[in-house]
Structure 1
Amino acid sequence: MTLDALRPLYTARQVGKLDRRTMAAGIEGFALMQRAAFSAWQVFHERWPDARSLSVLCGGGHNGGDGYIIAALAAQAGLSVECLALKPVAELDGDAARASATAEAAGVDLISWHNDARMAGDVVVDAMLGTGLSGEVKGAYGRAIDAVNRAGKPVLSVDIPSGLAADTGAMLGRAVHADATVTFIGDKLGLHTGQAPAHTGEMVFCPLGVNARAFFDIVPRGVLLHEQQLAGALAPRRRTAHKGEMGHVLVLGGAPGMGGAALIASQTAARLGAGRVSLATAPAHVSASLTRCPEVMAHGVRGGADVAELINRSSVIVVGPGIGQGAWGQAMLGAALESRKPLVVDADALNLVASRFTREQRDDWVLTPHPGEAGRLLGISAAEVEADRPAAVEALRQRYGGSVVLKGAGSLVAGSGGLAVCPYGNPGMASGGMGDALAGMLGALAGQFGMQDDTVRTGVLVHALAANMAANDQGERGLLASDLASCARRLINPRSA
């Protein structure tokens, strides 16, 4: 699966352009609204076939118009419909007014929103606030969102859960918690990162017959990674392949008293197919490494001078897991930076870049910060990073070069080929060592395939999919970083059909 075949992701403004271009090409706006509503109705019917009633909350504009037509379709199908209007029906205009008239003609009573609304339907349809939302949700809309979330009913959100920012995935004060979201025309970047994964539920994309790629001058904001990419990225090895061709990964990490992270990274690198893996760690951790994974060549080192020969023999360096920010860690990172070898930089190595190696910029490294580390690298707070994750990861790449992985729900990858979003992963990954496992995977793949965009995207995909595989096997709670290595190995060695 090539990059061109991946689903493009757009900003709200870009989708607005796609909408207008489509109408200019001859499709009436109300007809497009009907298509959207019918697509949402189909999703509703497929997901909740036994529902006999629904509550539809409608705002103004196109989003509310979609809701009114959904209400009409439900009434025509014999369902009991409660339709609550957040904007007075008399104030609607254009296609939204036409849609409300369609609902009334279908026998739907349009009720003005009130704070005592019961939400009596088996399912709630959220068609309140669309992708144009920019400020914090307040007033009647805020109270309606709170009421939906308190109701405890299944929720279908139309185009986007009300209260989410379409470009960033940030929650604008409050947002609907949907069980499913159906979005139209062009998929939106903010539906797949930030707070969005906790609000969208199952994501369904309906293009409504519009080929967004045909409007080549509207360049997508990013792309959505897909597990099918792995098949093309990880072709079978030649029968004559040998370890010297598969990269020699050197893990620099494990300062005194912090050996576990480096052990996780080195073992994961070995499981991801590196030809050779060396570990430079504090001497006290060598015996633990040999016990854990004797295939890793563990070396006890006391300072930068001790790693010179190991660095010379390596083809890629993973620096940071358990490295600390003291003299030992500074020496390890300094030696790695001086080597000019391709680097994977993680954990406290990122904090040292932010505080002591501030002028570093290079093309042959990948930085893997979580929001806190990203904030330190940019000189802003973690909250500011989370408020606009796409902008943050692109600012990091512009400042430091190379590729950047901003970890978290909907991990973002920024590289020379643009922005990519990983939609996989699960809450079980909220445990220590997950970033160390990712660093080891990235190092192993870089040793085999080179430090390039596709390698980084593949590593992020394998990491998230391996976590899902492990969680599916034994559950999310209690998922350990060391569980990912065996699952990742299965993913990079798919069995032929």
Structure 2
Amino acid sequence: MRIGTSNSTKILDSACVNEYKIPLIVMMENAVLSAFKHMDIENNQRYVIVSGVGNNGGDGLGLARQLTAHGKEVEVFIVGKIEKMSECSKINYNILKAMNIPTNIVDEENLEYLKCSVKKSDIVVDCIFGTGLEREIKGIFYNVIDIINQNKNKTYSIDVPSGINATNGDVLGICIDADKTISFEFYKRGFLKYDVKQYIGEVIVEHIGIPEYILEKYDDREYITNLDLVKNNIKEKNKFSFKSDFGKVALFAGSRGFTGAAYISTQSAVKCGSGLTTLVCEKYVQDILSTKLCEAMTLDIQNKEKVKKLISECDAIGFGCGMGDTEDTYTKLKYVLENSKCPVVIDADGLNCLKNKKDLLEKHPNRIIITPHLGEMARLTGYSISHIRDNKVDVAKEFAQKYKTIVLLKGYETVITDGNYTYINPTGNSSMANGGMGDTLLGIITSFAGQGMTNLMSAVCGAYIHGYIGENLSKDLYTVNASDVIAQIPFVMKEFVK
């Protein structure tokens, strides 16, 4: 699923009309028919359509025609000056007048009548403002939106809830509180903002007949990950496969009091299908875990000759879980990067020790994956957590471009980007919000990188599967722990391959 902004919507519309000669009224009618499918006409009878005078309003006027044709009671309210109505909206407006569908021009004197109609309706359809809105809402528009929010039964918004900036998610003074948003062609980037989730309701993205090659030509290269993408990247095991075909990986993890992080990251790589997995750790961690990790090997990090040989032979390395934010951790990371040639996935204390030494990332471009949460990203970038939360796509892309790394910025709707292509992960939920989940994710991503996925797809697929398992388990479990996820990895891998 593509993600788009108000600008990309404008560019796409212009290209369709001017380059490919697709009349705007055709696209509007396609939008009307696509939105009509989600009007729940089986369960509702009375509809109030509230339209502006732009093309988004034209969608609403077209919907009024379709709903009337299907036997529904429809009343239309238009907010704005009729003389400023767009050409396509005028066409639909004139059709409504010819069909004698009740149409009201909203002013201060009939706001009470609008309020009564909204109260009586089963569904209010919001088509006041579309994706181009950037100014703060005031006056009659403010009053209309407030009346809808205070008196509605349900509200369905077309393309974007009126009052929300489609690009950045800012609420421009007031916005429609939608129960459902039917968006066209793109999942709007503004919907990714945490604070806007309460206003957009269920989001449905519908296509309106724009050919795929046109969409590709004007693609912003920002997507929501889907299941097919993940399935297409998983490596199958066939009857000729050997363990060497599925990668040799090493996990540098653990310290005194944090042996669990070492165990979780290593075991998740094992369960994800790595051919050979080795935990590299301090001797006291090795003594605790060498018998518990039955399918993985362990290596004392002080055995420098063997460690150097292992690093040089690895197909992927995971680094940082439970190691401690110390100068020693930085020294070990520097050694790993300087003596390896494979992808290196860095998490937790591996990231924390870089906060004032990011030049190490610059020295090893195009082979590092970092997996910070908001706090770790704040320490790496110097931005506040609130700024990162509100601008997570831009912050992640900026960092990825500058340091030529893959950035997986964890949290609700995790962002994964190489600075060029960006994916938003739709899986996972708050039942997974507990210790060890990041260690599990690092093990999965390291395993995928070792199995030959690209660095970007390792992170994209790792995040998806990690969250997918957690979501499924949360149907029966109040809290989903790392060990629960690890136990399910082989089953989900098999499910996806099949």
Could you tell me the TM-score, scaled by structure 1's length?
0.84
Q: Taking structure 1 as reference, are residues 493 and 50 closer, same or farther at Cα in structure 2, changes over 3 Å only?
A: same
Alpha-carbon shift at residue 466 of structure 1 (Å): 2.1
Aligned mates of 2:304, 2:145 — CA distance in 1: 56
Q: What is residue 41 of structure 1 aligned with on the other side?
A: 36
- Are the equivalent residues in 1 in contact too, given 2:27–2:209 (CA < 8 A)? no
Return the offset for 1:130: 1.4
Aligned residues: 486
Query: Structure 1, residues 266-317: CA drift from partner, whole Å, max 9, x if none?
Result: 2211111112222234555446645764323345658999955654554322
Are 1:14 and 2:8 matched, yes or no? yes
Q: CA deviation at 1:149?
A: 5.2
Tell me how far apart the structure 2 counterparts of residues 87 and 304 of structure 1 sit (CA, whole Å).
75
- Which AA in structure 1 matches 2:245? E
Aligned to 2:355: 354
Task: Determine if the alignment matches structure 1 residue 382 to structure 2 residue 389.
Answer: no
Indicate yes or no: 2:60 matched with 1:57: no
Match of 1:262 in 2: 262
Aligned residue type for 1:398: Q
> By how many angstroms is 1:86 displaced?
3.9
1:391 corresponds, among 390, 394, 398, to 394
| Whole-angstrom CA distance in 1 between matches of 2:169 and 2:281 | 39
Per the alignment, in what secondary structure is the counterpart of residue 160 of structure 2? Answer: coil
Q: Once the 2 structures are TM-superposed, how far is the Cα of residue 450 of structure 1 from its aligned partner?
A: 4.7
- In 1, Cα distance between the equivalents of 2:171 and 2:298? 46
Distance 1:471 1:143 in 2: 42
1:87 positional shift: 2.9
Compared with structure 1, are the counterparts of its residues 49 and 304 closer, same or farther at alpha carbon in structure 2 (3 Å cutoff)?
Answer: farther
- The residue that corresponds to 2:129 in the other structure is 129
Aligned to 2:494: 493
Partner of 2:115: 117
Q: 2:459 aligns with which of 448, 456, 460?
A: 456
**Counterparts of 1:176 and 1:260 in 2: how far apart (Å)?**
47
Structure 1 residues 461, 215: CA separation in 2 closer, same or farther (over 3 Å shift)? closer
Cα separation, 2, equivalents of 1:437 and 1:151: 47
One-letter amino acid matched to 1:30: I
| 1:402 and 2:405 are equivalent in the alignment | yes
* One-letter amino acid of the structure 2 residue matched with residue 371 of structure 1: L
Equivalent position SS for 2:183: strand
Give the CA deviation at 1:321. 1.9
- CA shift, 1:250, in A, is 2.0
Tell me how far 1:242 sits from its aligned partner: 2.8
2:37 counterpart SS class = helix
Q: Kindly provide the amino acid, as one letter, of the partner of residue 73 in structure 1.
A: Q
Separation in 2 of the partners of 1:282 and 1:138? 63
| CA-atom RMSD in angstroms | 3.4
Contact 1:266 1:279 survives alignment (8 Å): yes
Partner of 2:414: 411
Task: State the secondary structure of the residue aligned to 1:405.
Answer: strand
Q: Distance in 2 between matches of 1:109 and 1:430?
A: 50
Sort the Cα spacing of 1:412 and 1:400 in 2 relative to 1 into closer, same or farther, 3 A. same
Q: Distance in 2 between matches of 1:394 and 1:272?
A: 28
Name the residue aligned to 1:482: 483
Instruction: Name the residue aligned to 1:180.
Output: 180
Give the conservation status (yes or no) of the 8 Å contact 1:466–1:488.
yes
Q: Per-residue deviation at 1:365?
A: 1.0
Identity across aligned pairs (percent)? Answer: 25
The SS at the match of 1:236 is coil
Pair 1:12–1:26, CA change in 2 (3 A): same
Secondary structure of 2:495's match?
A: coil
8 Å contact 2:233–2:453 — kept in the other structure? no
Provide the C-alpha distance between the structure 1 equivalents of 2:224 and 2:343, rounded to a whole number of angstroms: 26
Q: Aligned-pair distance for 1:101?
A: 4.4
User: Residue 489 of structure 1 aligns to which amino acid in structure 2?
Assistant: P
On the 8 A contact 1:192/1:423 being kept in 2, the answer is no
- Relative distance call for 1:317 and 1:198 in structure 2 (3 A) is farther
* 1:66 partner letter: D
The answer for the alignment partner of 1:294 in structure 2 is: 294
**Equivalent residues in 2 for 1:95-106 (5 A)?**
95-104=88-97, 105-106=99-100
After superposition, the Cα gap between the structure-2 partners of 1:57 and 1:99, relative to the gap in structure 1 and judged at 3 Å, is: same
Rounded to whole Å, the distance in 1 between the matches of 2:148 and 2:232 is: 43
Pick one of 42, 56, 66 that aligns with 2:59.
66
Which position in structure 2 is the counterpart of 1:344? 345
Give the Cα–Cα distance (whole angstroms) in 1 for the partners of residues 152 and 481 of structure 2: 32
Structure 1: runs of 5+ lacking an equivalent: 1-6
Task: Give the Cα–Cα distance (whole angstroms) in 2 for the partners of residues 242 and 189 of structure 1.
Answer: 44
Aligned counterparts of 1:292 and 1:202: Cα–Cα separation in 2: 45
1:470 aligns with 2:456: no
Give CA-to-partner distance per residue, 1:434-462, whole Å, 9 cap, x none: 32222111100111115433333222222
Conservation of the 8 A alpha-carbon contact between 1:255 and 1:329: no
1:385-438: per-residue Cα shift (whole Å, max 9, x none)? 233333222211111113222223333322276223333333434333332222
Counterpart position of 2:372: 369
SS in 1 for 2:355: helix
1:87 has 2:86 as partner: no
Q: Deviations over 1:205-228 (max 9, x none)?
A: 332221142366424332332211
Aligned residue number for residue 3 of structure 1: none
CA distance in 2, matches of 1:103, 1:273: 61
Partner of 1:32: 27
**Residue 143 and residue 227 in structure 1: after superposition, are their counterparts in 2 closer, same or farther (change >3 A)?**
farther
| Partner secondary structure for residue 423 of structure 1 | coil
Question: Does the aligned pair in 1 maintain the 2:115–2:148 contact within 8 Å?
Answer: no
Q: Deviation digits for residues 313-360 of structure 1, max 9, x if unmatched?
A: 543221122233124433433333333342101123223222234452
SS state of the match for residue 353, structure 1? coil
CA contact (8 A) 1:405 1:414 kept: yes
How many angstroms apart in 1 are the aligned matches of 2:174 and 2:302? 51
Report 1:136-155 matches (<5 A): 141=141, 148=148, 153-155=153-155
Structure 2: which 5+ residue stretches go unaligned? none
Residue 140 of structure 1 and its aligned partner are, at CA, apart by 5.4
